[in-house]
Amino acid sequence: MLQNLIQQQQGGQGSLFDALSGEAQQAVMRAREASAGTTRTAAIGTDHLLGGIVTGDNVATEALQRAGADVGGMRARFQEFRSDPGEEIYTFTPSAKRALQLSFAAARQMGVGQVGSEHLLLGLLGEGDGNAYRILQQHGATDAEALRREILRLMQQWGAQTGQGMPGAAAGPGMGDGQQGPPSQTPTLDQVSRDLTRLANEGELDPVIGRAEEISRVVRILSRRTKNNPVLIGEAGVGKTAVAEGLAQRIVSDDVPESLKGKRVLALDVGGLVAGTRFRGDFEERMQQMLKELQQEERNIILFIDELHQIVGAGGAEGAVNASNMLKPALARGELQVVGATTLDEYRKNVEKDPALERRFQPVLVDEPTVEETVSILFGLRDRYEAHHRVRVSDEAVESAATLANRYIMDRYLPDKAIDLLDEAAAEVRLRSTVPPVDVRRIEEEISGLEREKEDAVRAEDYEKAAGFKQRIEQLRIELDEHQEGWAGGRESNAPEVTKEDIARILEEWTGVPATNIVQEEAERLLN
C-alpha cells in the first residue's frame, strides 16, 4: 500500500519500500500524516520524517531516550499537527531524499539489509541542513556517534535476549521476514570501535596524502616476527590517525604483504570502552570479552588505539586492573596486534615509564607537514568538503588556508589547523547561503502572528473569526512552500564559493587580527 501512496523519483515501483523494515514503513506513513497537517504541497520533508519516527515506539525513540534527548517534547510537537492525508500521492523534498540515501548507507555500515527507524534517524542527523536537524538540536539530540553507539547496544541486547537481530534487520536485500543474517562474532568490539577497513571499502574515509613513507614503515613493522606493534608519535593534529586510515585503505586495495591481506583495522574508542563501567569488575569483564573476541579472530584484527597513553590507568579506579596490564599478556603472547598513536610528551610520561609495555612497541615518528605538503593535502580533500557543505572552494582559498594557518596560528599544527580553518570557512559560507530571503521571513512572521490571533479568537469563542484566520494561514502556507521550493532550487543549482577573504574572516575570529590586515599582508608578501 505504501508504495502506491508515495511517488518514487528513482528506481522501479516498490524499490525503495522493499528495503524498509516494518517500523520504518510505519514511520513514513506517519510522516504523510505530519505533512498533511502542516503543508498543502503533498511533500514529505525531513521534519515530517522525524515526526513519523518520534510519534511511534521503535528503536530510534529508544536510542534517543537513552542518549538523553527530549523525546516527549518532540512527540508533543508533532502529535498536534497530524492530519489524514487521504489517498493523495506524496513526494519527498530534496533534503528528505538526501536523508533517505544516508539512512541506506547507515544500514549498510551497520551490517543490516533493511532500513529501520534507527537508520532513518541517523540519515536525518547526517543530512544536517534541514528542519529535522534543527528540531533535534533544540531537543538535545545531534550527537550521531552517541546515537550510533546506543543503537549498537540495543542490537546487542536484543540479540542476547532473543538469539536474533533487531526486528526487521535482515542480513541482505531481498531476504524475507524472519530471515536473519549470521550474528556478529565480535559484538563487544563492534560496540567500542570503528571498523576502518569497512569504512575504507565503502569510500567513507578521506584520501591520505603525503604519508606514504609512514604507512610503509607501519606495514613493515606489522610484518615483523617480534616487536610488531608500531606506535605513531607526533604532535596533535599532524596526521597520526590518517596513517592508520591509510593502512586500512592499503589493506582494502590489497597493497600489503600476504601476511596482512584480509585483516581488519578497528579503531578502539577508549571512552566507549570505559563508559557505563560504574562498578568494580564491570571494566575487567568488558576488557576480557574484548580480548576473547580478538583471540577468536586469530590475529585477523589490528587494533588502532588513538591516544595510547589513555589505556595506562583506564578502568583502574578503586584498585581495579587497568587496561594496559590486561593488554600486555596478549601482546606478549602475540595474540593481539596494535597500532598506537600518542604525542612524544605523553609517550615519555606514560608509556616509556612502563618497560613491559614500552618494549612491545616500535616507535614511528610522524612529523608536521610543510606548508606545500599541506596545500597538497587540502587539494586532495577539497572534493569531500565541497560535497559536505555544498559549496565551491577556490584554489586561492585552499592555498590561503595553509599559508595563513601556518603564519597566524602558533599553538596548533599542520595540517589539522589548516583543515579546520577551511572547514569552518566553508560552513560559514554555506550558513550565509541558508539564511531565508526577506519574503520567506516576512511570510513566516505573518503566519506566526496569525496563529496567535487565531488562538486568541478561539479562547474568545469567536469561531467565525478563527476560521478566517485559519483560511488565511493555509493560503500563506501554500505561498510559503512555493517560495521555499524556489529558494531551495536556487541554492542547489548555484553553490556559493569559498574565497580567500572568507578564510581571512574566520582567522580574524580565531586570532583577533583584522581580516583586512591579513589580506593586505598576504598581497604585499606575494608582490615582494
- Give the CATH number of the domain where residue 444 resides: 1.10.8.60
One domain, residues 108 and 149: yes
DSSP designation for 20:
B
Structural contact between residues 97 and 153, judged by C-beta atoms closer than 8 angstroms = no
One domain, residues 129 and 211: no
Domain-embedded: residue 178: no
Report the pLDDT value the prediction gives residue 523, as an integer from 0 to 100.
Answer: 56
* Residue range(s) defining the domain that contains residue 224: 187-365
Instruction: Say if pTM beats, i.e. exceeds, 0.85.
Output: no
What the block records as the C-alpha cell of 277 is 563501567
Domain-embedded: residue 4: no
Number of domains into which the chain is organized: 3
One domain, residues 391 and 497: yes
One domain, residues 500 and 391: yes
One domain, residues 203 and 293: yes
Domain-embedded: residue 34: yes
Structural contact between residues 326 and 288, judged by C-beta atoms closer than 8 angstroms = yes
One domain, residues 120 and 233: no
One domain, residues 357 and 334: yes
One domain, residues 83 and 191: no
Report the pLDDT value the prediction gives residue 381, as an integer from 0 to 100.
Answer: 93
365, 391, 409 - which closes a domain: 365
Residue type, 158: W
Domain-embedded: residue 394: yes
One domain, residues 329 and 429: no
One domain, residues 290 and 405: no
Domain-embedded: residue 179: no
Report the pLDDT value the prediction gives residue 295, as an integer from 0 to 100.
Answer: 82
One domain, residues 94 and 51: yes
CA dihedral 503, 506, 511, 517 (to 10 degrees): 50
489: CB partners within 8 A, 6+ apart? none
365, 390, 418 - which closes a domain: 365
Report the pLDDT value the prediction gives residue 493, as an integer from 0 to 100.
Answer: 54
194: CB partners within 8 A, 6+ apart? 266, 267, 269
CA neighbor of 218 nearest in space, from 118, 355, 361 = 361
Q: Provide the b/e sequence for 79-102 (b: ≥16 CB within 10 Å).
A: eebbeebeeeebebbbbbbbbbeb
Report the pLDDT value the prediction gives residue 76, as an integer from 0 to 100.
Answer: 80
What the block records as the C-alpha cell of 99 is 536523508
**pLDDT, tens digit only, all 528 positions of the chain:** 444 445 444 444 345 666 788 888 888 888 888 777 666 666 788 888 888 888 888 888 888 887 778 888 888 877 766 666 666 667 888 888 888 888 888 887 777 778 888 888 888 888 776 778 888 888 877 676 777 777 777 766 655 444 444 444 433 333 333 333 445 677 778 878 888 998 888 888 899 999 999 999 999 999 988 888 999 999 999 999 999 999 999 999 989 999 898 899 999 887 777 766 666 677 778 888 888 888 887 678 999 998 888 776 554 444 444 677 788 888 878 778 999 999 999 998 888 888 888 888 899 999 999 999 999 999 999 999 998 888 999 999 999 999 999 989 999 999 999 999 999 999 999 888 776 667 777 888 888 888 888 888 888 888 888 888 888 888 888 877 777 676 666 555 577 899 999 999 999 899 887 877 776 666 556 555
Q: Which helix (H) or strand (E) holds 488?
A: helix 463-493
One domain, residues 377 and 473: yes
Task: Look up the CATH number of the domain holding residue 56.
Answer: 1.10.1780.10
How are beta strands 497-498 and 337-342 bridged, if at all? unpaired
Report the pLDDT value the prediction gives residue 30, as an integer from 0 to 100.
Answer: 85
Domain-embedded: residue 8: no
330, 349, 365 - which closes a domain: 365
- Number of residues assigned to the chain: 528
Domain-embedded: residue 307: yes
Task: Look up the CATH number of the domain holding residue 334.
Answer: 3.40.50.300
C-alpha dist (Å) from residue 316 to 219, 265, 281, 307: 32, 26, 10, 17
